[in-house]
Amino acid sequence: MVKSSLVRQALILVALAFVPGFVQAIFFWDKVSWRSPVPASEMVTVTQARAWGENTIWVDARPDNEFARDHVPGALPLNEDRWSELLPQFLAAWSPEKKVVVYCSSEGCNASREVAHRLHKEAQLANVFVLEGGWEEWLKEKR
């Protein structure tokens, strides 16, 4: 009798532990990286982006403190937190013939996808790409 009661309580606790995860999965369903607003055709590898050379504008979508610590040489900061403040600086450096490569921390980071999406939709820019693997991939390829 006591053993079945403990088993039942344990099962209830396990079920309750899954509730926050299910709620979060439902709430953030459209924000996870596998449902990216950036099509696969607009993803670019480090090698491809480097091959574009001077025709590339690198955009760092990471938080300011990460950008200050280190970034792709010549990259411009443009993140969600300071979008309105940083966008004019970016637009001053942009020109139609340039390709824009946006990156954030890693493959799982969604900030680069969000910034690229906003550049497409709000700034009406073409040739905006998201760096596959983000900053982590840049560091691997840098070696």
Same domain, 51 and 13: no
Same domain, 10 and 62: no
| Pairwise CA distance, residues 106 & 133, whole Å | 5
pLDDT tens for residues 4-17? 888 888 778 777 77
Same domain, 109 and 45: yes
| 98, 56 Cβ separation under 8 angstroms | yes
| 91, 121 Cβ separation under 8 angstroms | no
Same domain, 8 and 58: no
Q: Which residues form the domain of 101?
A: 33-142
pLDDT tens for residues 11-44? 787 777 777 776 776 766 555 554 455 566 689 9
The whole-model pTM stands at 0.72
Same domain, 21 and 70: no
Domain count, the chain: 2
Same domain, 88 and 122: yes
